[in-house]
Amino acid sequence: MRAGKFITVEGSDGAGKSTQIDFMKHWLTERDIPVIQTREPGGTEVGELIRSILLNEREANFSDGTELLLVFAARMQHLDERIRPALRKGCWVVCDRFTDATYAYQGGGRGIEEERIAVLERWVQKGLQPDLTLFLDVPVEVSLNRARLRGALPDRFERESAGFKEAVRTAYRNRALADPGRIRLVDAGRPVEMVRQEIEKILAGLIEV
């Protein structure tokens, strides 16, 4: 039995996910909807350890398969320990990235076949899918510029080539086109306030369901 709703937020680095997630949490809380905010890879103690391996290991030589299995290992722990229990209690879950990121980064970026990802998705998620996914879409140049302005040390994915980033974006866009009922493509190249207003409308639609 699921009572809460599961919302995931996707986008390139620098698409403005964090700002919009803060807004969403605030918007739901104001309406007395219990909500937890979490992220992938991460969200649990084990998941955060896996995250630091995936993002920070500068010198490590990862095979693509290892990377794929690690994101799903973190996801299994996250679903068992946090996401499913929260949804069962009626809590909404807003998650910064989920399996669409795997199709985009490990599928589109690394070139792993979709079916391999789908096998793990079926095993780990056992049919659980987000009720809503917001894909905050920005052109690669915009995301690169915003990341540069932030000035933080780039992680292992941020250090990838512009070609990798284009492939990630294309994979996200294709998924949004293929499943418009669940994945809402939001043009995040616009001013933050306009993006926020669009997200507010989408959320309002979801609480009426």
Contact residue for ligand TMP among 101, 117, 167, 203 (CB under 6 A): 101
E strands, the chain, where? 6-11, 35-39, 92-96, 132-137, 183-187
Min dist. Cβ of residue 3 to ligand TMP (A): 25
Stretch that binds ligand TMP, among 26-34, 95-103, 142-150, 192-200 (CB under 6 A): 95-103
Stretch that binds ligand TMP, among 96-104, 118-126, 129-137, 186-194 (CB under 6 A): 96-104
Which of 41/130 has CB closer to ligand TMP?
41
Which of 4/16 has CB closer to ligand TMP?
16
Closest CA to 171 of 135, 141, 195: 135
Stretch that binds ligand TMP, among 21-29, 86-94, 99-107, 146-154 (CB under 6 A): 99-107
Per the CB < 8 A criterion, the answer to whether 87 and 72 are in contact is: no
What does the buried/exposed string (b/e) look like for 139-176 if buried means 16 or more CB atoms within 10 Å of the residue's CB?
A: ebebbbebeeeeeeeebebbebeeebbebbbebbbebb
Contact residue for ligand TMP among 44, 96, 107, 121 (CB under 6 A): 96
Q: Helices 64-78 and 114-125 sit at what angle, rounded to 10 degrees?
A: 20
Query: Which residues contact ligand TMP (rule: CB under 6 A)?
Result: 13, 39-41, 55, 71, 96-97, 101-102, 105-106, 157
